[in-house]
């Protein structure tokens, strides 16, 4: 038996806001940060019991609406010089199909069931990095620098080996927008 409690569809938890889950023993505040991370903590501030779900969310903290204590959504601890801690709860984001939909009756393909994981920024490259040799460490570069380098390398390869010397393998894991960009790149415009 699972102890997970369905709270709400992801888009119904407001960015920089919260929802409250009431249990038999406590109220739990479920928070969504600006970068779409989800946290759950006891909805009671360790200072005077203020409802944290009514506080202001910023970064990975919430400011209690009563006395502005800053509580970490990661570990529930009050920010110094204040002292105290509220309980934290594990969270997970899960994707389910619509069992009433006539096309698939709720069954999802692998891509559909894992798509939400692509929104996590902790393992994604957010800016260009480049290295000019395999042994060199990658370093952050500008978009212009990285595109100029690639353009020059493609031009050199095509000039030396012909137009069939450059090919792209496009994975089925890409989104429609990604396919569009790769097709533009491959066609040269």
Annotate 62-119 with DSSP letters as a single string. EE-TTT--EEETTT-BBPTTS--B--EE---------TT-TTTTT---HHHHHGGGGG
- Condensed to tens digits (0 to 9), the pLDDT of residues 123-182 reads 677 889 999 899 999 999 999 999 899 889 989 999 999 988 888 777 766 777 777 887
Model confidence band, residue 1 (pLDDT cutoffs 50, 70, 90):
very low
Res. 95: pLDDT tops 80: no
Domains plus CATH for the chain?
Answer: 10-89 (2.102.10.10), 129-187 (no CATH)
Q: Two tokens at 3?
A: 């102890």
The DSSP code for 152 is H
Q: What are phi and psi of 15, to 5 degrees?
A: -60, 135
Distance, CA of 109 to CA of 104 (rounded, Å):
10
Of 31, 103, 101, the C-alpha closest to 72 is 31
């Amino acid at each position: 038996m699972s102890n997970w409690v369905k709270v709400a569809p992801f888009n119904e938890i407001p960015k920089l806001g919260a929802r409250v889950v009431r249990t038999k023993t406590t109220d739990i505040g479920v928070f969504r940060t600006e970068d779409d991370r989800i946290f759950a903590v006891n909805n009671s501030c360790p200072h005077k019991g203020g409802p944290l779900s009514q506080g202001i969310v910023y970064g990975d903290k919430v400011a209690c609406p009563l006395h502005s204590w800053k509580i970490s959504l990661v570990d529930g601890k009050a920010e110094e010089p204040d002292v105290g801690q509220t309980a934290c709860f594990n969270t997970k984001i899960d994707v389910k199909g619509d069992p009433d939909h006539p096309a698939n009756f709720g069954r999802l393909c692998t891509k559909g069931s894992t798509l939400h994981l692509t929104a996590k920024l902790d393992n994604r490259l957010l800016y260009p990095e480049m290295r000019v040799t395999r042994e060199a460490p990658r370093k952050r570069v500008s978009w212009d620098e990285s595109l100029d380098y690639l353009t020059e390398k493609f031009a050199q390869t095509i000039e030396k080996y012909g137009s069939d010397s450059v090919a792209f393998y496009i994975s089925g894991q890409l989104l429609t927008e990604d396919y569009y960009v790769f097709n533009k790149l491959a066609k040269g415009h």
